[in-house]
Amino acid sequence: MRTAGRKLAEVVAKLRAEVAVDMPTIEIDRLTEAEILKVGARPAFKGYKVGKAVFPASICISINEQVVHGIPGKRRIREGDVLSLDFGLVYGGYYADTAFTVIMGEGDERSRALVTATEEALALGIAKAVPGGRVGDIGHAIESYVRPQKMGVVTQMVGHGIGRKLHEPPSVPNYGKRGTGDLLKAGMVIAVEPMITLGTDKTKILGDQWTTVTEDNSRAAHFEHTVAITPAGPEILTKLG
């Protein structure tokens, strides 16, 4: 899983360097798929099924009020857009999953605060991924950091265990009480993924069966790492160096 995580981090570095204003999102999808194949892996999201819905692309691209699961297409990225990129790969039978949000250009002040807070919330959540902890410790760390900043915590979707499947137990909510929920043990690997908004906690899914937006159209950000829980503490697998 370390190898899968490192390969995914390499693709993230490529995307961070390449994504630019005026690029159609389908172009980012092509680039992502090409880079995943180049590192000898397979895209984890392409063909992923929820019920009868099949995800058609290698990456989810969610812009502004879109929280997650946006489908790449002809839409071009604009200056000031809040762009969330979420994708995974499979290598040697093991999955890795990651997400990050970037503002194209300078953006407005609240959007910048949102992106900074979501990335920091991820770090705070990951710090609680220790043997003997509970998933509620992670959720509490995330929620108690963002709520005072007048931001919403998406509750309808959560982080997850990961390994030979993309989604495994336990669920890892971005909210909760300390000392509650599933026990964390050394050897577990989880995807921690706060989805934070500038408004409501509530989301809805659009008619394409995938794109998930905030109910109040407020902007959202999303950061995710695949994290191994080791006796020495959390080890982020989807990070370089």
Q: Which residues bind Mg ion (CB under 5 A)?
A: 97, 191
CA dist., res. 207 & res. 188, Å (int): 36
Shorter beta-carbon distance to Mg ion: residue 124 or 195: 195
CB of 79 to Mg ion, least distance (A): 28
Q: Quick check: bond before 56 cis, omega within 30?
A: no
CB of 194 to Mg ion, least distance (A): 11
CB of 23 to Mg ion, least distance (A): 24
Shorter beta-carbon distance to Mg ion: residue 33 or 97: 97
* Contact predicate 134/188, CB 8 Å: no
CB of 109 to Mg ion, least distance (A): 29
Give just the sign of the alpha carbon dihedral 20, 199, 226, 212. Answer: negative
CA dist., res. 52 & res. 106, Å (int): 39
Query: Which of 199, 224, 71 is CA-nearest to residue 142?
Result: 224
- Residues pairing with 25 in the sheet: none
Shorter beta-carbon distance to Mg ion: residue 104 or 196: 196
Shorter beta-carbon distance to Mg ion: residue 45 or 145: 45
Shorter beta-carbon distance to Mg ion: residue 61 or 191: 191
For residue 112, what are its two tokens?
Answer: 């910048």
* Contact predicate 115/81, CB 8 Å: no
CB of 190 to Mg ion, least distance (A): 10
CB of 87 to Mg ion, least distance (A): 9
CA dist., res. 34 & res. 102, Å (int): 21
The 8-class DSSP code of residue 43 comes to E
CB of 193 to Mg ion, least distance (A): 5
Shorter beta-carbon distance to Mg ion: residue 104 or 122: 122
Shorter beta-carbon distance to Mg ion: residue 97 or 201: 97
For residue 222, what are its two tokens?
Answer: 């999303």
* Contact predicate 217/88, CB 8 Å: no
CA dist., res. 233 & res. 227, Å (int): 10
